Amino acid sequence: MTRSTRDAVRGIWREAAKFGLVGALAFVVDNGGYTLLVFGLPGDARGGPMGSSPVQASVVATGVAALFSWAGNRYWTYRHQHREKVSRELGLFLVANGVGLAITAGTVFASRQLLGLDSALSDNTARILGWVLATLFRFYAYRRYVFVAP
């Protein structure tokens, strides 16, 4: 392997590690927020404020996590690659995350509506599957379209 190839591979691994750390923290924000919105605090028999709206709660939690992710990726992972026009970059980021949000909410919808599952375990399992699929999509989209210097 040539030096330039080795450096490129190292660069991608560093980028993936930073992206992964930001994503892991956003995952905590997303799943923690979703669980609180739908199921409430542990031991609270009343449930969360969006207990009867799990798909909408998924959208809210994922939206908050997406904003966290944008800041982390823009100012840390891709700090040397962001566009000069923040509004264009944020617009592309929101489109990529809109697709990711649809993927994650879609797995909750499939679990709830198609499979008839409604426990915290089944919801979180569906959301984890959605997160894996959405994360793969977002990594590609961020590298290819969002955080690319003009």
pLDDT score at 2: 82
Q: pTM of the prediction?
A: 0.69
SS3 call for 82: coil
Residue range 118-141: average pLDDT? 90
Tell me the pLDDT tens digit for each residue of 59-114.
899 889 888 988 999 899 988 876 678 888 889 998 998 898 899 889 999 999 99
Tell me the pLDDT tens digit for each residue of 101-115.
899 889 999 999 999
SS3 call for 75: helix
Do the Cβ atoms of 93 and 68 come closer than 8 Å? no
Asked if pLDDT for residue 127 goes beyond 80, the answer is yes
Tokens 């450096």 label which residue? 7
Q: Tell me, what amino acid is at 107?
A: T
For the chain, how many residues are written?
Answer: 150
